[in-house]
Amino acid sequence: MLHVGDEELVFERARRCPRATELVASPVELHQRNVQRRLREANLSKDAFSFVAPVGISKKLLESAGRPTATIDRIDRLSLLHAILEDPPSRASSELALPPRLSSRDPQQIEQIRTEVETVTNFHPERIAAWRDTADDLYDPIDAESSELLNAALFVEQGLRDRITKAVSETELVRRATRMIVATDGVGWTEAYPHIDRLTLLGLSSLSAPHTDLVHAVLSTTPVEVHIHFRSETGTYLKQRFDDLLTRSKPGTEVFE
Amino acid sequence: MTASNRHKLSQPIDPPEVPTVEIVSPTRRDEVRAAMAVVASLRDHGVPIRDIVVVVRDLDAYEEPLFRAAIQYELTPVFWTQLRVTRTRPYALIEAVCDVLDEERVDVETLLRPLELCWSLRSTPGRDEQSVSTTCQWPIDPATVSRVMERLPDGTRTIPEWVDVIKSTGDADGRFQRFVEWIDDAPMPEPESVSTLLGDVIEGYAEHGLPETKAGDSPALLETETDARAVVRVRTLVRQLRHKFADRLEEGTVDQSWGDVANLASVIATQRPGRREHSNARALDVLEANDVWALDVPYVVVLGLTADQWPRPPESVLPPEFQEAVLQGDGQSGLLAPQPAWIGGRDRDQFTDALRAAGQCAVVTRYTQTREGNEVQPSPLLGYINTERVGETDRERLISADRRLPPEIRGFVTAETEDCDE
């Protein structure tokens, strides 16, 4: 169920009960505090809700399935990217042809390209193809620039993976959890969250491809009800775009596999 | 997918249900004063502090002026943001210790800088009693450090040389000797020794430096709180430092030097993880606009409604034409996740959410000129809502010594008080 605002619906489900039956996730940490304050001020019980960060859900799913959850952080990524950009110079410079306004030597800029491509595509093969199609339909030189940014992101993501055994980022954990749900046909979810019958995402100003794919996996393999509450100004638009964002093949699949 | 959907991201926004009052000040400083004067005046009228929230677009520009103005109005602000740990004393102490250890030869300022920052010997369990004597009180008071610093010779020396110099200086009591010997005994930086040594520095500070801060603090204990939060953060930083330093040594990207330890500490400390700071319930909440969603309080004061702050230019590296194609979502591009922030969608959400958080009245403020006297335009978002603007005389009265709520706001407070009387 997609909502624009309407977070009062969550408060209506507040009740005393022995255990939480609803996972409440918000990307902004303080939003959870705001919701908890509202519940407290209205003398409503928090019993029915388990408040989590979206990545916390993925970690719990993977831990429950006995899968590793170790990741490197941004500082590590920048340091590794620095090494990738330097070594070997010839290969890096041919793969990292970038629009003139960007520097292929600046790890922070390269990391931003990587995260933007990840947010828009989740590295899913169908979306990578869609990116190339979208780029091809644009005029020169924007078509080439858009393809260069995609290639650079894929090149450094692959480079990071080649250099470490841990996950490249917490977003990779979201993808791994998504694949685990699909591969176990929802059993992995039920084992991690046996009493949860509802997943609520709150306060969204955007919907990233990684979160879309996680929601897609839950919806297609479990009986869990999913509610997404968008924020008021962007919500009407995002609500109408949601269905188009779902991939036809398995969510969580990566172009690197 | 039709283009009309895309336009939902730029159509006029719905005005909030409660009235909005606008205060226009000449400078940012005046704006901040006006905002704090509104809060203080609402308190004068008996509005509880928990019923007021202050919202800024970006705390970086507003934290310091707001803090100063709040103190002036005897308000205790709590900034719901990342603690800038690099500007705290516990962090400066860690840096100063690395500086002394990094150089072969140091001058007296570098040598004694840690003592100025309340370096204290960590008490070792079991040895406490015998070390408690008048000469072993930590930290050394600033006047003593400064007196000894003046008596010590100029020029750079190695640490062993300084140990000898300090032994022969009458003014420097046993604590100075204990400090330079501690420096002299410091091991080469290994992941393990970095963590032990800097861990001892921060624990020594927690034992001795923190109580000093508290003793000299204002009744609101603002500095103590900042200091205590910083101690917690620096402890975490020292733990991270151990692992990162080990990784970097293995990669060969750092040298085994205290200078590189300090550089790495600064990289870790200046990252902005998602963690927010917590604080007490009797203070005035100051939040960034993104954090206000779902709050419901009677009075909300929103600062910084200028064209350069709100909206802020998007940070994306993608070409605008590509973004536009993804936002339109025609054909294959419909699969790509569009980011409304590319065209100011997030700014619009935050603006609306800030105004909607107000149950009684929203006050929006802005300023019209920079410190250099250049004109500052109002935020275009203000064009979507009707505001009641406070007159210049009433604004001046608000920030005067004889402060008085502007009539546009006073109406709500009076009505509320009357409601309560009935």
pLDDT, tens digit, for every residue of B95-126? 999 999 998 899 998 999 899 889 999 886 54
Domain boundary, last residue among A163, A191, A222: A163
Q: How far apart are CA B183 and CA B249, in angstroms?
A: 23
Residue A255 included in any domain: no
Residues A78 and A188 in one domain: no
The pLDDT of residue B15 is: 81
CA distances from A88 to A70, A94, A95, A96 (A): 27, 11, 11, 12
Residues A51 and A105 in one domain: no
Q: How far apart are CA A225 and CA A1, in angstroms?
A: 8
Q: Which amino acid is at B402?
A: D
- In this model, does residue B40 exceed pLDDT 90? yes
The pLDDT of residue A121 is: 98
Q: How far apart are CA A101 and CA B224, in angstroms?
A: 46
Q: How far apart are CA B10 and CA A59, in angstroms?
A: 37
Instruction: Determine which of A152-166, B73-87, B269-283, B342-356 has the lowest per-residue pLDDT on average.
Output: B269-283
Residue A250 included in any domain: no
Which residue of A lies nearest to B316 if distances are taken between CA atoms?
Answer: A116
**What is the distance in angstroms between the Cα of A10 and the nearest Cα belonging to chain B?**
11
Q: How far apart are CA B282 and CA B76, in angstroms?
A: 8
Residue A22 included in any domain: yes
**Do B1 and A29 count as a contact with CB atoms less than 8 A apart?**
no
Cβ of residue B247 closer than 8 Å to a chain A Cβ = yes
Residues A138 and A214 in one domain: no
- In this model, does residue B273 exceed pLDDT 80? no
Q: Are B2 and B17 in contact (CB under 8 A)?
A: no
* Phi-psi domain of B265 (left: phi exceeds 0; alpha: psi -120 through 50; beta: other): alpha
Q: Could you read off the pLDDT of B223-240 as tens digits, one per residue?
A: 777 788 788 888 888 988
N-to-C CA span, chain A: 32
Residues A174 and A230 in one domain: yes
Rounded average pLDDT over A159-170? 90
- Preferred mutation among B13, B250, B316, B317 to probe A, highest tally of A CBs within 10 A: B317
Size of interface A-B (CB pairs under 8 A): 165
- Domain coordinates in residue numbering, chain B: 3-81+279-421, 86-269
Rounded average pLDDT over B126-151? 70
- In this model, does residue B129 exceed pLDDT 50? no
**What is the distance in angstroms between the Cα of B243 and the nearest Cα belonging to chain A?**
11
**Do B251 and A83 count as a contact with CB atoms less than 8 A apart?**
yes
A175: nearest Cα among A133, A208, A223, A128: A208
Query: Up-side HSE of residue B220: CA atoms within 13 Å toward CB?
Result: 19
Q: How far apart are CA B209 and CA B229, in angstroms?
A: 13
What's the CATH superfamily of B3-81+279-421?
Answer: P-loop containing nucleotide triphosphate hydrolases (3.40.50.300)
**What is the distance in angstroms between the Cα of B206 and the nearest Cα belonging to chain A?**
28
- In this model, does residue A27 exceed pLDDT 60? yes
Confidence of residue B420 (pLDDT cuts 50, 70, 90): very low
**Do A232 and B333 count as a contact with CB atoms less than 8 A apart?**
no
Which of the two residues, B71 and B2, has the higher pLDDT score?
B71
Per the confidence metrics, is the pTM higher than 0.80? no
> What's the CA angle centered on A203, arms A199 and A206, to 5 degrees?
100
Number of structural domains (chain A) is 2
- In this model, does residue B135 exceed pLDDT 50? no
Domain that holds residue A106: 74-163
- In this model, does residue B128 exceed pLDDT 70? no
Q: Which amino acid is at A126?
A: E
Q: How far apart are CA A132 and CA A150, in angstroms?
A: 8
Residues of B in contact with A112 (CB under 8 A): 315, 317
Confidence of residue B266 (pLDDT cuts 50, 70, 90): confident
Domain boundary, last residue among A163, A189, A212: A163
Confidence of residue B276 (pLDDT cuts 50, 70, 90): very low
**What is the distance in angstroms between the Cα of A61 and the nearest Cα belonging to chain B?**
22
Considering A14-28, B77-91, B331-345, the range whose residues carry the highest mean pLDDT is B331-345
**Do B244 and A75 count as a contact with CB atoms less than 8 A apart?**
yes
A239: nearest Cα among B350, B9, B311: B9
Q: How far apart are CA B200 and CA B242, in angstroms?
A: 14
Token code pair at residue B16: 């909030």
Residues A233 and A189 in one domain: yes
Instruction: Select the residue of A37, A130, A205 nearest B345 (Cβ to Cβ).
Output: A205
- In this model, does residue A55 exceed pLDDT 80? yes
**Do A135 and B345 count as a contact with CB atoms less than 8 A apart?**
no
Contacts of A148 by beta carbon, 8 Å cutoff, 6+ apart: A97, A98, A99
A193: nearest Cα among A16, A55, A95, A61: A61
Residue A58 included in any domain: yes
A198 membership: H or E segment, kind and range: strand A198-204
Domain boundary, last residue among A112, A128, A163: A163
Residues of B in contact with A79 (CB under 8 A): 248, 251, 253
- In this model, does residue A199 exceed pLDDT 90? yes
Rounded average pLDDT over B213-228? 73
Interface of B with A in 50-109 (CB under 8 A): 80
Q: How far apart are CA B112 and CA B119, in angstroms?
A: 9
Residues A202 and A175 in one domain: yes
Residue A47 included in any domain: yes
Local structure of residue B284 (DSSP, 8 states): E
Cβ of residue B270 closer than 8 Å to a chain A Cβ = no
